Chain A
Amino acid sequence: MYKFKVDEEVARWTLEVHLQVDRSAAAHWWVAFSNPTAGPWKRLMAKTGEGEVEVYRYRREEERPDLIIVSDILKAVLIVEAKDNHDKLLKERQMVKSIRVMREMEAQLVNLGDNPAWDVRAQYSYIPGFLWGEARDIEAESRAVANAYYEVAQVSLSNPLIGFAIRNIDDTLIPQVHVHGTLSISKSTFLESLNFPLIS
């Protein structure tokens, strides 16, 4: 067995694996777009009755978020920016870029109401999220990221923000989540939809 480090790619992939493999999470959430470090994935896809349909294609030089996940049950779209660790997210230049990417992406998606494959999803709640690896104290790290976000974005603390972090417990990677601000649904419903493992 090889040793590994948890970078942005691994953090994003671990979250994706959980959302696809965990039955409860998979029943709630699906991945509309993922931005791996390499590969041809530059299309944003929507689930429809006839399978996956492309609803948006990024231009070559266009900035793109790292992950977009959708819950048709909760009527929510999470636009997620990822980095190797939370320190990298805290840098002001990075935070400015992350917020710009999230806002531009949200603007694109709420304008897709005329696209039958996206349709009512244009009316969903669009929630920013951050994801990082090498997590040790998810609560403290998430609070630091949230503080930086609210300050740079200049929005009220009641605006929702999701912090995802990947913990490494004896070489097993476990996604964790922390919710900031107020969601349009109950926090417990949101947490149950993700069904992340509890760490004792």
Chain B
Amino acid sequence: MAADKHALEFWSDSFHEGDWSCKELGNHLPIIRISHLNGFIPQYLYSLPNGEELEVTVYGSYGIWSPLPVPIGELLEWGKPDLVVYSPSEEKILFAVEETAAVPTGNQALQRFERIFGSAKRRIPFWYLVGEYGMHLDKGVRRDSIWAAVACLKLTVIFGVPSIVLHYSTKDSPEDYNAGTGLHSLFNILSKFLLNWAGVIADETMIPELQDQYLEMFDFIQSQWQQITDYLPSVEKLIGDGLAREFAVRALGNEPSNEFSGFLRWGLTRELPDEIRQKQSGRSLIKMDRLMARLEELVESGKAYTLSKRTGSRPQPRDSVGRWIRAQEGLFDVSGLDNPPEFTLKITEFPPSPSGLLHLTTAKNILYLCDLWEDLAREIISAYPRLAGVLKFFNAQDPVMFYVSNSMKPGRIFGDPYTGQLTNYSINFARNMSGEVSRKVVTYYPHQVHSQLFDSSGKLRSNKGITLMKVLVDLAIFHSGVAVVLKDGPIVL
């Protein structure tokens, strides 16, 4: 008699990734047969411990298929995970995976985080397999940032689903998928999730593996945070099997533990530990910008703080900067605006590096945690007087997360790595463990014009950058002080 057969679809960014996932899964569930439909579509048949079978069909390269299942299409609005496991009979995504060979350094470290958030928001379990150690362009070995792992802890608690960072590679074998524990751990837990979905094992059976994964995230954060930030609230509590188990239990949808309340909370400047607060000081700019100079003054006067002084600038070729300025000017459209501003970007305002490249970086920080909206609003109006009288959205006492991207290439802010960076910071610094907004989010793009948000008919364009801005950003300020409210609009000021 034929065994009962469960059917799933593995959707992936390429056939290689889907096929590779099936083979890795074969290290945990025995493969009975591999075949290819239509001469190219891989189909794997696995044996389950209870005698039933699991048939997995691989659909590589999302864009070639139609109709794309609706839940997958919705998830892809937040970027394309490398693997999405889909049950066609239930029209439901079981989980998603991102695995990256990108070097986890600098801006790259947080790219793709919007995919993690997009999944968590839909209560889709998500695993992010990333190199712990990577080779930087300068040939040095760098270690991953903590911010993805920290934000995943928050997403786990907020949404009650697994949101997990796993690491591969070691210091001696950077970028090596087979080094470290991440790869084995990933497919071990995925096989458990599949067995749970097939009714072979109970929820509780998955807790030990999930607990181990959260414990590994704690250990990574503990050993790395001081290289990334001067301050990480409640880091001393991120230890132990007990807390890791609480995260694992919450990841399976159980009620959140009381232990999470107040966790990873970024308070006001006066609430910082003395030694951290005393180290805060305004810094000079690399390239002058009126608003960023005022942000540094807020830090200097104890009304805002930054997280680290380990920041730098990556100057750009002069011809690229010239080309980008011309392109931005071509896109600049202030029709319909009251008190319309002028386009003012000039190549002469960007200081040269010793090698003749041009610095786009304004302030040395990209993130500021401001205590009061009224303080920040005053500085915004001081830098851009045309906004006087119109910035009336928030309460004066609201704390604000202020993020600046100095990028100039048109459209760049709507893609990697900026979308991931902004999403990650919004979760880490502007949401509490209940998912409530703890800070307003204001973003600043001094070298990008607002008109890029709109198509030729004046409608908001559709891309993942704008999708996440609509959800996460309360106020976006573009070149020449054009302010845009996306959440309930768009309203362009």
Contact = CB atoms under 8 A, between A and B. Distances in A.
Contact of B39 (A2, A7, A36, A174): A174
Interface stretch (B59-67, B379-387, B427-435): B59-67
Contacts of A3: 65-67
B291 to A, nearest CB: 33
B79 to A, nearest CB: 11
Contact of B67 (A2, A7, A13, A17): A2
Given A3-B67, A40-B101, 14 more contacts: A2-B67, A7-B64, A10-B40, A13-B40, A17-B36, A36-B14, A38-B17, A38-B82, A39-B13, A39-B16, A39-B17, A39-B20, A40-B99, A171-B38
B177 interface: yes
B61 A10 contact: yes
A2 B59 contact: yes
Nearest to B13: A38
A47 interface: no
Nearest to B129: A40
Interface string A22-57: 000000000000101111111000000000000000
Given A4-B64, A9-B15, A39 B38 contact: no
A41 B67 contact: no
A18 B36 CA distance: 10
B371 to A, nearest CB: 40
B17 A172 contact: no
Interface string A173-187: 110000000000000
Which residue, of B36, B38, B40, B68, has the highest number of chain A Cβ atoms within 10 A? B40
Contact of B38 (A21, A36, A37, A172): A172
B476 interface: no
Interface size class of A (residues with CB under 8 A): 20 to 34
Contacts of B137: 60
A193 interface: no
A134 to B, nearest CB: 12
B177 A40 contact: yes
A74 B306 CA distance: 63
A146 B82 CA distance: 36
A17 B39 contact: yes
A173 B14 contact: no
A148 to B, nearest CB: 26
Nearest to A36: B14
Contacts of B17: 36, 38-39
A42 B131 CA distance: 15
Nearest to A6: B64
Nearest to A175: B39
User: What are the 6 A-B residue pairs with the smallest beta carbon separation, nearest first?
Assistant: A40-B101, A38-B13, A36-B14, A173-B39, A13-B15, A36-B16
B65 A2 contact: yes
B229 interface: no
B406 interface: no
Contacts of B59: 2
A123 interface: no
Contacts of A2: 59, 65-68
Contacts of B80: 38
Interface of B: 13-17, 20, 36, 38-40, 42, 59-61, 63-68, 80, 82, 99-101, 103, 137, 177
Contact of A40 (B40, B60, B100): B100
B65 A39 contact: no
Contact of A17 (B13, B40, B61): B40
A183 B122 CA distance: 56
A5 interface: yes
A39 B64 CA distance: 17
B101 A173 contact: no
Nearest to B15: A13
A173 B38 contact: yes
Contacts of A17: 36, 39-40, 42
A36 B63 CA distance: 14
Contact of B82 (A21, A39, A171, A173): A39
Specify which of A5, A17, A38, A171 lies most central, judged by the most chain B CB atoms within 10 Å of its CB. Answer: A38
Given A2-B59, A60-B103, A172-B39, A38 B64 contact: no
A9 B64 contact: yes
A36 B177 contact: no
Contacts of A40: 99-101, 177
Contact of B16 (A7, A13, A14, A172): A13
A182 B63 CA distance: 38
A5 B68 CA distance: 13
Contacts of B42: 17
Contacts of B99: 40
A76 B103 CA distance: 34
Contacts of B100: 40
18 contacts: A2-B59, A2-B65, A2-B66, A4-B64, A4-B66, A7-B61, A9-B15, A9-B60, A9-B64, A14-B39, A17-B36, A18-B39, A21-B36, A36-B60, A37-B61, A42-B101, A171-B38, A172-B38
B317 to A, nearest CB: 14
A158 B259 CA distance: 76
Contact of B14 (A14, A37, A42): A37
Contact of A9 (B14, B20, B103): B14
Nearest to A197: B39
Given A34-B16, A38-B14, A4 B39 contact: no
A175 to B, nearest CB: 8
B476 to A, nearest CB: 29
Contacts of B101: 39-40, 42
